[in-house]
Structure 1
Amino acid sequence: MPRTLRAQHDRFELSQPFRIARGVKTAADVITVTIGEGQVEGLGEGVPYPRYGESVESALAAIEQARSVIESGAGREELLATMPAGAARNALDCALWDLEARLSRRSVAEMIGNPAPGRLASALTVVIDAPEAMGRAAAALAHAPLIKVKVDADAPEAQIRAVRAAAPHVGLIVDPNESWDRKLVEAMQSLLVEQRVALLEQPVPAGEDEWLEDFTPSVPICADESVHIAADVPLLARRYQAVNVKLDKAGGLTSALALARAARENGLGLMTGCMVSSSLSIAPALHVARLSDFVDLDGPIWLREDRAGGVIDEGGFLLPPAPGFWGTS
C-alpha cells in the first residue's frame, strides 16, 4: 500500500521563559511528521536545536529529501543508514514506530519487549534567575522527588545553595549547559558534595572535555552535549560516569535504545532527557526512561497548552499519555 508523508512546523508558547546558560526560550518550535498507509497514520515530533546547527527550515528540508525513501516503504533500520542523527530523523523514526504499532495492533512496548511505561519520577526544572528567585521557584517544587537546577558561571554557588535551602529533601541535578571551565569544575567539587548534588550534567563544552579522563569527580558527571549516538560511548566512558539520552540527539527511538544499551554495556549510568517539546516527543522517550537512573522529561510541563491527551505531571511524577496518543493501536 502506498505511503504518504507530511511534515509541518508547529509552535507551542511557553507559560514562562525557560532560561539556561545558552539563552532564553519563550516557545517550543517543533516539527510534526505524519506517515500514512491507507487510513492508518503514525505521528512523530522532532525539536530542531540551534546548538547542533539545526533549524526548523533545515529539518523540514532534510525530511523532504527523505520523502522518496519513506514513501517507497523504508523501515527504521534503512532510515538509520540514510539519514544522520538529529531532530528530522527523530520525527520520522518515531512516526514509523507509531505507524507500525497501529498497523500491527501491537503497542511499541510489545514491539520492544518491555512493559508499558507507567508513572515515574521526572525532574522538574528551576531555570536561571537571581538566587533568591531560584529559591522561591524551588520552594514551590520542594514536594517533588527530583529537581534539575540550571546554572551558569556567574553565581553557581549562590544559585545551588538557594535551591537546596528551599528544597532540602529533593534529589538535585545541576546543569551548567557547558558554561563552566575546568577551574570552576574543580572549585565546585566540595560544594556539590556539601549540597548533596546527585549528578552534574555537562559542565564544560563538548570538545573541551578531554581532561576529564584524568579527573576523579566527587559527584558523578553526566555527558549531554558530548553524546549523541551509541558510537560515542566507548570514548566518553573514559570521561563521564553517565550519559543523557535524548531522542532528538540520537535521531529517534531506535537509535536512543541502542545508545542506552551501549551505555549500560560500558558501565555508565543512564539519564533520559528532552528538549522543550510537546508530549508527542515525550511518549517515545518514556520507553528509554523506564530503563534509566534519572529522568528529565518535563518539556511539556513548560507549555501553555500541550497536545490533547499528553503526559501529566503529578507532583514530580510523570503520568503517561492517554491510551491511543502514541505507540498504541
Structure 2
Amino acid sequence: MQRTVSIVPVSHRLKAPFRISRGVKTAAETVVVEVVEGDLIGRGECVPYARYDETVESVIAELQPPVQALRDGAAPHEALALLTPGAARNALDCALWDLRAKREGLSVEALTALRVPDRLITAVTISLDTVEAMGAAALVVASAPLIKVKLSADEPAARLLAVARAAPHARLIVDPNEGWDFATLDGLKPILSDLNIALVEQPLPAGEDMALEGYDPPYPICADESVHTAEDLAALKGRYGAVNLKLDKAGGLTEGLLMLEEARNHGFTLMVGCMVASSLAIAPALHLAGSCAFADLDGPWWLAEDYPGGARVADGWLTRPAEGFWGDGVTAAGLWL
C-alpha cells in the first residue's frame, strides 16, 4: 500500500517559564511525524534537545532519508535503521508503532504485553527560580505525592528546603541537570539524608560521573544524561542505582523496550521520563510506566493547551489519554485538531 509521510514542526506555548540549570524555555518546540496508509494515520512526536545539538531544523533534515525510504516502499525497520538514537528516530518510531496498532487492530499495549496504567503518580516539576518563588510554587502542588525539584549550584540547599517546607508530605526528586560537582553533591548529603528524597537525578556532568564509582548515599543516584540506549547501561553499574528512560534520547519505544529489559537485568531502579512535550510524546512512554518505580511524565502539565483527548495531570496524578489518542488500534473522532 502506498504511504505518505509528513513532518510538521509544532510549537506549544507554556503556561509558565520552565527553567533548569542550563537555561529557560517558554514553549515546547516539537516535531510531529504522520505516516499515512489509506485511511490509517500513525503519529509520533519528538522534542529536539539542544543538549545534544538537536534543533527543529536538524531533526527535520535528519528525517528526510528515512521518510523518503518509507515513501519508496521500505519496511519500517529499514527506514529506522537510517537514524541514530535521538529525537528524530523517536518521532518516526512512535508514529510507526501507532500505525501498526491501527493496521493490526491491536493496541500497542497488547503488542508489547505491557499494561498501561489508567492512572498513576507522576512527578510534578518545580522549575528553577528564586528561593521564594520555588517555595510558592511548591505550595501550589503540595498535595502531589512526588515533586521534582530543579536545582543548580547556586543556593541548592536553600531552594530545596523551601520546597520541602512548602510540601512536607511529598517525596522529592532532586535534579540539578548535571549542574553540580562532586564536592557539592557530597556536601549536601546531610541535608538530603534528612529529607524525603526519592532520587537524586544526574547531579554531575555525564562525562565526569566516574566520581560516583562506589559512592553509596542513603538515596539512589539516577542517571539521565549519562544513559541513552541499552548499550549504555552496563557501564553505569557501581555509579548509579537508578536510570531514567527517555524515548527522545533512546530513539523511540522500540529501543525503550530494550532498555527496560536490560535495566531490569542489571538491577537498576527505573524511572520513565520525558521532555516538556505534549501528550503525543507521553502516550508511548506510558507503556514503560507500569514497569517503573517512578514516572516523570508531567510534560503536558506545562502546556498552555494540549491536544484534545490528551493525558490529564491533577494533584500529581496522571490519567492516560482517551481511547483512540495513540496506540489503541482504533481511530477516535474529535481527538485531533
Aligned length: 329
Instruction: Determine if contact 2:67/2:79 at 8 Å carries over to the other structure.
Output: no
Instruction: Determine if contact 1:118/1:319 at 8 Å carries over to the other structure.
Output: yes
Counterpart position of 1:266: 266
User: Following TM superposition, by how much is the alpha carbon of 1:314 offset from its aligned partner in structure 2, in angstroms?
Assistant: 2.4
- TM (norm. structure 2) is 0.95
Give yes or no for the alignment of 1:278 onto 2:278: yes
Whichever residue aligns with residue 114 of structure 1, its letter is L
Is the partner of 2:318 in helix, strand or coil? strand
Counterpart position of 1:113: 113
Instruction: Determine if contact 1:175/1:200 at 8 Å carries over to the other structure.
Output: yes
5+ residue gaps, structure 1, are: none
Whichever residue aligns with residue 68 of structure 1, its letter is Q
Counterpart position of 2:10: 10
User: Following TM superposition, by how much is the alpha carbon of 1:195 offset from its aligned partner in structure 2, in angstroms?
Assistant: 1.5
Q: What does 1:58-73 align with in structure 2 at a 5 Å threshold?
A: 58-73=58-73
Counterpart position of 2:206: 206
Whichever residue aligns with residue 136 of structure 1, its letter is A
CA distance in 2 between counterparts of 1:147 and 1:264 reads 24
Whichever residue aligns with residue 29 of structure 1, its letter is E
User: Following TM superposition, by how much is the alpha carbon of 1:295 offset from its aligned partner in structure 2, in angstroms?
Assistant: 0.5
CA displacement, residues 139-182 of structure 1 (integer Å, 9 cap, x when unaligned) = 11111110000000001000111111111111100000000001
Is the partner of 1:207 in helix, strand or coil? helix
Is the partner of 2:81 in helix, strand or coil? helix
Whichever residue aligns with residue 59 of structure 1, its letter is V
Alignment CA distance shift 1:74-1:317 (3 Å): farther
Instruction: Determine if contact 2:109/2:116 at 8 Å carries over to the other structure.
Output: yes
Whichever residue aligns with residue 66 of structure 1, its letter is P
User: Following TM superposition, by how much is the alpha carbon of 1:64 offset from its aligned partner in structure 2, in angstroms?
Assistant: 0.8
Is the partner of 1:13 in helix, strand or coil? strand
Runs (4+) off by over 4 Å: 73-76
- TM (norm. structure 1) is 0.98
Counterpart position of 1:52: 52
CA distance in 2 between counterparts of 1:115 and 1:272 reads 14
Counterpart position of 1:288: 288
Instruction: Determine if contact 1:189/1:219 at 8 Å carries over to the other structure.
Output: no
Counterpart position of 1:308: 308
Counterpart position of 1:157: 157
Is the partner of 2:213 in helix, strand or coil? helix
Whichever residue aligns with residue 69 of structure 1, its letter is A
Whichever residue aligns with residue 170 of structure 1, its letter is A
CA distance in 2 between counterparts of 1:253 and 1:76 reads 13
Counterpart position of 1:234: 234
- Residue identity over aligned pairs, in percent, reads 52
Give yes or no for the alignment of 1:318 onto 2:324: no
User: Following TM superposition, by how much is the alpha carbon of 1:217 offset from its aligned partner in structure 2, in angstroms?
Assistant: 2.3
